[in-house]
Amino acid sequence: MRTRLRCEAYHIFFKNLANGVKTDIISALKKKSMSVNELSKELDIEQSKLSHSLANLKFCNLVGSKQIGKKRIYSLNKKTILPILKIIDQHREKNCEGCKLKK
Amino acid sequence: MRTRLRCEAYHIFFKNLANGVKTDIISALKKKSMSVNELSKELDIEQSKLSHSLANLKFCNLVGSKQIGKKRIYSLNKKTILPILKIIDQHREKNCEGCKLKK
DNA sequence: TATTCATATGAGATACTTTTCATATGAGAA
DNA sequence: TTCTCATATGAAAAGTATCTCATATGAATA
């Protein structure tokens, strides 16, 4: 997201989720809030990569954070994320039986 | 989306929406189902560009289509899309007041 | 206030998506 | 069975995001 873009457009929101690292972060934070290091161990993803992704997610308030000592604990905005994931799960049950793989 | 990817991952779903052309298509089809040409006029977007985007959206069953004469009429999968857009709208009302622009 | 742990940031390289344009296919009418 | 309208497709070019790595910042403690 290098260009200056209006936050009002839906696709900005989706861009922030359209990436494996970010959806992995979301899945992990669904279980419990975690620091960057904890996420790094849990997901086996390098620290700065996580920080970059977390900055994006935070910009759109899809995650929040609070400083505890040296650590910064990230938490999921469950109010927004969980219902969306639920809709996608239902969509997939209905529509994605035949489509296991995408070219 | 060139590589072969599992459709189960959430980010595949979001990728399909993380683009202005696609969200514009969605907004247009929210009002009424349309052929490619109608969309092209309505949105002032070139035909082949629309076809490419529509193919992606259709792959994930976010739109459907039916052939009528020479025309192919595309329609929105409202059951999935509308509730998601609603959640995003609510999210933005709450969270995006200060964030008009994104670098 | 130097050191260490924890996280963030910048910039170049890499990878991926989207656009563009030329062309192919498909459906119906002449 | 050709012509025309409507849409789809492929491949190269253009645009954009992500990754990587080196380094900066920030918080706490010795």
Half-sphere exposure of A90 (CA within 13 A, CB side): 12
Q: Is residue B40 part of a domain?
A: yes
Residue-wise pLDDT for B52-80, tens only, equals 999 999 999 999 999 999 999 999 999 99
Q: Is residue B16 part of a domain?
A: yes
Q: Is residue B1 part of a domain?
A: no
Query: What mean pLDDT value characterizes chain B?
Result: 88
Instruction: Report the CATH number at residue A60.
Output: 1.10.10.10
Judged by CB atoms closer than 8 Å, whether chains meet at A60 and B96 is answered as yes
Judged by CB atoms closer than 8 Å, whether chains meet at A23 and B4 is answered as no
Q: Print pLDDT tens along chain B (103 aa).
A: 333 334 568 998 999 999 999 999 999 999 999 999 999 999 999 999 999 999 999 999 999 999 999 999 999 999 999 999 999 999 998 887 655 433 3
Q: Is residue B31 part of a domain?
A: yes
Q: Is residue B5 part of a domain?
A: no
Residue in B83, B84, B101 nearest the CB of A4: B101
Q: What's the whole-number mean pLDDT along residues A29-48?
A: 98
Distance CA B24 to C1' D15 in A? 19
Residue A73: domain span: 10-95
8 A C-beta contact, residue A25 and residue A34: no
Rounded to two decimals, the pTM is 0.89
Q: Is residue A62 part of a domain?
A: yes
Rg (CA), chain B: 15
Beta-sheet strand order (sheet of B63-68): B34-35, B71-76, B63-68
Judged by CB atoms closer than 8 Å, whether chains meet at A18 and B4 is answered as no
Kindly indicate the confidence band of residue A24, based on its pLDDT and cuts at 50, 70 and 90: very high
Contacts of B13 in chain A (CB under 8 A): 88, 91-92
